[in-house]
Amino acid sequence: MTVSAEDRPVGVDIQENEQNRPVIEAIEADNPKATVRYLPGMVRIQSPGELVINRETVEERLGREWETHEFQLAIISYFGHIKEWDDDQIRIAWDRP
Amino acid sequence: MTITPKAPRKLTMKQRYSALTRDLEWDPSYVSDEEMFPLTSFEGITIHDWSKWEDPFRLTVDAYTKYQAEKDKRLYAVLDGFAQSQGHLSLTDASYLNAMKLFLQGVSPLEYQAHRNFAMLARHLNGPGPRFASLCQSLDEIRHAQTEIHTLSNYNKYYAGFHSYLHMHDRVWYLSVPKSFFDDALSAGPFEFLIAIGFSFEYLLTNLLFVPFMSGASFNGDLPTMTFGFSAQSDESRHMTLGLEAIKFLLEQDEKNVPLVQHWINKWFWRGYRVTALVAQMLDYMLPRKVMSWKEAFELYFEQQMLGGLFQDLAYYGITPPLHVDKAMQEKEYLSHQAYWILYQFSHAAAFTTSVPSDEHMDWLTEQYPDTFPIYRTLWEKEKKNIAAGGRHFIRGLPQLCQVCQIPMGFTEADEPFIQAQRESIFEGERYNFCSDGCQYIFDHEPVKYRQAWLPVHQIYQGNCGAADLPGVLDWYHMKPGDGGEYLGSLDNQNWKKWHDMADETGGN
């Protein structure tokens, strides 16, 4: 059974705490197909095909400047492939169709 | 809310990475490449262009140190608060700490070994990208070892079983399972190590190993462990990336690498998976408050994410899911029951305690494993009768160990819950025993390596473990009264009751 890269879920696990709440909200806002599951101490967000984290959306919710490097403080684990991690965006997707 | 516009940065992240990490590379002029990097040719891996290695994190030394310092600051704030408020009394039960004893004795020393080997890769890989990623991982791993030891040292003041973890790691029978796994990887070449630890352990299996421990900690009132765990896991996403980039890099560099990589995936999936038997029993039996069953964790983190996601990507290169993965999927129904049953019967020679699951606990297990747990329930019901008659069951003899994973040979055939699985190979006139097809496959490819295994039971019989009787061996293990055996009535159990009665009488604190 082959599922195309557009449908295969990718996702991140994020620590559930006060600092990360705006980050989680930003991810939900930018990824309308994402589903969120709460596990003890952590939040798992997954989305079919692709998941993006945009600096601007996080900054709007956080009310301060936020470097994408800072996402390293929030992330516990991920599945998928980190396709892009630059100043403005982190994008997780599978590599192959 | 408006945000003041950012002052334009001099360099973008990409440019900084290229300037501060990649551009520090130089070509040697008075030695050859082979002399400078002598370890990257003997395994038969072909690399044409090291500059093709990708590092999506684009880390530089300044960014790395800044965020790592912040992670430590957050962790130590939690540790102090927990210690100052006698946080250990708010755990669900003292028996919860058995999971943490196993972690400190079995896993933390592996972090230190990982630190050492990644430091070596940081010197010996030819490309600056993977060298820098290895350097970061080497520093991460020593941070993990230190923060884990520091966090759990707080429990050592009050509970048994935490005191001699390093000494025990090198000697004790059940700890030879994780130790031999890692020694196996350390004694391989650099590329095999990258597939063994970087890919198979950090990417395929890391979530099965760490997330259950950490969510379990969170659910059982162990805030410091949850915090060090998630703090360590935040580095794990970089380690996963290193492993994934490593495998893609090897596969893209030369077609001849594909069969070597496939064999390493087959081998290291099974090698790592066998270590997770300890996690399986921890999740299903050691946590007083349950998070999820091993079966559910395996389905979520392995079947859905790895088989359903990753391996579809790797199929592009001609890589197939690991050999014997079907056996692991069959075993998810009973792995934890058999692993805990083994530990239960040998815990008089362990630095953790075990106990018969309560009725409520067994009801939960029945819900989670409707097809298999009823069989094991009959064993526990029988054991409850033994205990009522004054005879808690401990095995006094020594078990046969699997030559490869070193777990006592207590696993059964998949569809025969009372028939022990046993495989054997003869090499140069000697017979070797294995718990599974997976372990036999590993031995048959490298018999000269695995016949040298330091098997704790053989070592006892050979007279290398301090004494020929149990008290003598336990002494050689540095085990103290109260470290092992039955939980009910143990030192930890008595102290726990005493402290909580005291708290009731004085109205808390």
For residue A96, what pLDDT is reported?
74
Contact between B427 and B447 under an 8 Å Cβ cutoff? The reply is: yes
Asked whether the predicted pLDDT for residue B509 surpasses 60, the reply is no
Query: A3-17, B22-36, B430-444, B470-484: lowest mean pLDDT where?
Result: A3-17
Q: H-type helices in B157-199, by residue range?
A: 165-169, 176-186, 190-193
Query: Where in chain A are the domains?
Result: 9-93
When the pLDDT of each residue in chain B is averaged and rounded to a whole number, the result is 92
Q: Which residue of B has its CA nearest to A89?
A: B13
Which residues have CB under 8 Å from B344's CB, separation 6+?
Answer: B354, B355, B356, B393
Q: What is the mean pLDDT of residues B206-226?
A: 85
Assigned domain for B397 exists: no
Contact between B30 and B105 under an 8 Å Cβ cutoff? The reply is: no
Assigned domain for B407 exists: no
Q: H-type helices in B277-334, by residue range?
A: 277-281, 294-297, 311-314, 325-331
- H-helix or E-strand containing B432? strand B430-434
Q: Which ipTM value was assigned to this complex?
A: 0.87
B7 reaches A (C-beta below 8 A): no
Residue B95 — pLDDT band, cuts 50, 70, 90? Answer: very high
Structure-block tokens of residue B463 = 């007279």
Positions of E strands within A6-94: 9-15, 35-39, 42-48, 50-54, 75-79, 81-85, 89-93
Assigned domain for B362 exists: yes
What are the φ/ψ torsions at residue B185 (nearest 5 degrees)?
-70, -40
Residue B354 — pLDDT band, cuts 50, 70, 90? Answer: very high
For residue B9, what pLDDT is reported?
63
Q: What is the mean pLDDT of residues B79-94?
A: 91
Burial of B140 (0-12, 13-18, 19+ CB in 10 A): buried
Task: Tell me which residue in A2, A15, A68 faces B230 most closely, judged by beta carbons.
Answer: A15
Burial of B223 (0-12, 13-18, 19+ CB in 10 A): buried
Please, which residues 17-36 of chain A have a Cβ atom closer than 8 Å to chain B? none
Q: What is the CA radius of gyration of chain A?
A: 13
Task: Tell me which residue in B1, B230, B236 faces A41 most closely, judged by beta carbons.
Answer: B230
Q: What is the rounded distance in angstroms from the CA atom of residue B349 to the CA atom of residue B365?
A: 26
Assigned domain for B432 exists: no
Task: Tell me which residue in A73, A82, A87 faces B12 most closely, judged by beta carbons.
Answer: A87
Q: What is the rounded distance in angstroms from the CA atom of residue B482 to the CA atom of residue B164?
A: 13
Q: Convert the pLDDT of each residue in B259-286 to its tens digit.
A: 999 999 999 999 999 999 999 999 999 9
Taken in order B121, B127, B131, B133, the sign of the CA dihedral is: negative
Among B124, B270, B105, smallest CA distance to B184 is for B270
For residue B27, what pLDDT is reported?
87
Burial of B499 (0-12, 13-18, 19+ CB in 10 A): middle
Among A56, A57, A14, A13, smallest CA distance to A32 is for A57
* A23 CA: distance to closest CA in chain B (Å): 15
Assigned domain for B4 exists: no
Which residues have CB under 8 Å from B439's CB, separation 6+?
Answer: B270, B274, B402, B403, B404, B405, B423
Q: Convert the pLDDT of each residue in B233-245 to its tens digit.
A: 888 888 988 898 9
Q: How far is CA A89 from CA A18, A64, A97, B87, B456, in A?
A: 22, 16, 22, 40, 51
Assigned domain for B427 exists: no
Q: What is the rounded distance in angstroms from the CA atom of residue B155 to the CA atom of residue B153?
A: 5
Q: Which domain holds residue B379?
A: 59-388+473-505
- pTM assigned to the model: 0.92
Asked whether the predicted pLDDT for residue A2 surpasses 60, the reply is no
Is the Cβ pair A79, B310 closer than 8 Å? yes
For residue A39, what pLDDT is reported?
84
B293 reaches A (C-beta below 8 A): no
Asked whether the predicted pLDDT for residue B318 surpasses 50, the reply is yes
Number of Cβ pairs closer than 8 Å across A and B?
A: 114
* A91 CA: distance to closest CA in chain B (Å): 10
Q: Which has more pLDDT, A60 or A79?
A: A60
Q: What is the rounded distance in angstroms from the CA atom of residue A89 to the CA atom of residue A68?
A: 7
Residue A3 — pLDDT band, cuts 50, 70, 90? Answer: low
Q: What is the mean pLDDT of residues B301-319?
A: 89
Burial code (b: 16+ CB inside 10 Å, e: under 16) for B263-301 equals bbbbbbbbbbbbbbbbbbbbbbbbbbebbbbbbebbbbb
What are the φ/ψ torsions at residue B287 (nearest 5 degrees)?
-85, 120
Q: Convert the pLDDT of each residue in A64-76 to its tens digit.
A: 999 999 999 999 8
Superfamily of chain region A9-93 = Monooxygenase component MmoB/DmpM (3.90.56.10)
Q: Which has more pLDDT, B74 or B171?
A: B171
In percent, the amount of chain B with pLDDT more than 90 equals: 74
Phi-psi region of B364 (alpha: psi -120 to 50; beta: other; left: phi over 0): alpha
CATH number of the structural domain spanning residue B228: 1.10.620.20
For residue A54, what pLDDT is reported?
97
Q: Convert the pLDDT of each residue in B19-42 to its tens digit.
A: 888 888 888 899 999 999 999 999
Asked whether the predicted pLDDT for residue A48 surpasses 90, the reply is yes
Contact between B223 and B87 under an 8 Å Cβ cutoff? The reply is: yes
Contact between B138 and B119 under an 8 Å Cβ cutoff? The reply is: yes
Assigned domain for B142 exists: yes
For residue B229, what pLDDT is reported?
85
Note the Cα B4 to chain centre separation in Å.
46
Asked whether the predicted pLDDT for residue B435 surpasses 90, the reply is yes
Give the pairing of strands B423-427 and A9-15. unpaired
Q: H-type helices in B347-372, by residue range?
A: 359-368
Q: How far is CA B74 from CA B71, B111, B207, in A?
A: 5, 21, 22
For residue B508, what pLDDT is reported?
46
Residue A24 — pLDDT band, cuts 50, 70, 90? Answer: very high
How many domains are there within chain B?
1
Assigned domain for B156 exists: yes
Among A42, A32, A78, smallest CA distance to B212 is for A42
Q: H-type helices in B127-170, by residue range?
A: 128-156, 165-169
Interface test with B, best of A20, A73, A94 (most B CBs within 10 A): A73
Among B350, B233, B226, smallest CA distance to B291 is for B226
Q: Which has more pLDDT, A7 or B258?
A: B258
Q: What is the rounded distance in angstroms from the CA atom of residue B322 to the CA atom of residue B182?
A: 19
